Amino acid sequence: MPFALAGLSLAACGGGGHGSVMPSTFTIGGSLVGLATGEMVTLANNGGDSLALTANGAFTFVHAVTQSTGYSVTVTMQPTGQMCTVANGSGSDVMANVTTVTVNCGSQSRFAYVVNSGDNTVSQYTIGSAGELAAMTMPTVTTGTAPQSIVVDPTSHYAYVPNLNDNTVSQYTIGADGALAPMSAATVMAGSGPWALAIDPKGVYAYVVNSNDKTIGQYSIGTSGALTRVAAGTVATGTQPWGITLAPSGLYAYVGNFSDGTVSQYAIGTGGILSALTPATAPSGAKPAGIAIDRTSAYAYVADGAIASVNNVFQYTIGSGGTLAAQTSATVTAGLQPIYIAVSPAGANVYVANYANTGVGTISQFSIGTGGALTPHATPTVMTGKGPAWIALDSGGQFAYVTNINDNTVSQYTVGADGSLSAQSTPTVSTGTKPFVIAIAK
């Protein structure tokens, strides 16, 4: 009898059909990647609960948060020589343990370079501690005729500039002070109308898009940084190829063909050789221009640069064989005439430069959601100068820079904890004539 009463008593206390009681507190944690050996980064949650980390891997804050409250993870002390940023660092109405905060550390960006297509120069800048650009002692270096873009190799030792009107690529070494110096072979020949260039993630191969002859030139990068054309020569693109983007995995490459509404897709094989996938192209917008790929190489985004009433960014998943497939929501609306796209280093946000040929342009801001779909920020756009053509972020994802081709400036922004951009106290710096592309070096 006492045992029967005990059973009834337990049932009455909630064991008989009412389910388990939800915990009143939950832990906040995630993962740390990229921290250099022997270094330390210090985090805080909600302005307190300090946590010092000295090794990459999973972490959890000591103090849990109360059910239905929020969390906000920030970096309070950076490691020496590195910059760490937080992704997925805030949330509200917590009802379960959080394990999705990501802290990414990398070398600090120190220099920036802007190619000026109207005066055949590259403007050179140092990057200050607050992200502000300052012209170097030697503010510019010369290029070939009508330079169209600039790319820095992954080691930040070399830079390359395709020159549209003389069919060359200028090649430079980057000095300890960031200044560019022409290599002993100052240029290498390209195809007809070299427009854009990309380097594989390991810094071993380079690919030059030749807009006039609709090809990609393939090069190896020597120990001195000099480009050498590989025996395989060139591969075909579509009509008026605009740019080339390589997946962070180093396995695939994609080219937006501005005049035929397609994206060419390639596998990167042994020796860095490109080969067309099957199918060789994926359909896109009327004027596919800039292409961005998320840091996991799972999703791709293509800006449709057409002047139209609908200003789309096309969204794709990247299949196991590298082919692009439209997401369930095939497009998301950006600003007027989207032309270029950048993904934040932590992989949480996407920024779209909206060229707006007449008047002031904008940057559209999105977060990357489940399945790679883009969602506009609460503040969906920020203002730029006239004719924003390119956007680049520093390696830590703390600062963003936009070239304004129609007013000869670079707009400077600070990136907030939620990925939103805000103009720096000095909102712009001057460039040369017709600044097109900006590249960042560590």
Query: Would the pLDDT of 367 be above 80?
Result: yes
The CA distance from 280 to 365, in Å, is: 31
Amino acid making up residue 26: F
How does strand 241-246 pair with strand 252-257? antiparallel
pLDDT digits (tens, 9 = 90+) for 65-109: 999 999 999 899 988 878 888 888 888 999 999 999 999 888 888
Question: In the predicted model, what is the mean pLDDT of the chain?
Answer: 93
Q: What are the DSSP calls for 99-126, one per residue? A: EEEEEEEEEPP-EEEEEETTTTEEEEEE
Q: What is the pLDDT of residue 358?
A: 80
Domains and CATH numbers, the chain: 22-106 (2.60.40.10), 107-441 (2.130.10.10)
Q: What is the pLDDT of residue 290?
A: 97
Q: What is the pLDDT of residue 108?
A: 82
Q: What is the pLDDT of residue 20?
A: 64
The CA distance from 312 to 310, in Å, is: 6
Q: Which of 7-16, 18-27, 257-266 has the lowest mean pLDDT?
A: 7-16
Query: Would the pLDDT of 178 be above 90?
Result: yes
What's the mean pLDDT in 122-127?
A: 97
Q: What is the pLDDT of residue 3?
A: 34
Could you tell me the sign of the dihedral formed by the alpha carbons of 145, 147, 152, 156, in that order?
A: positive
What's the mean pLDDT in 174-180?
A: 97
Task: pLDDT band for 395, please (50, 70, 90 cuts).
Answer: confident
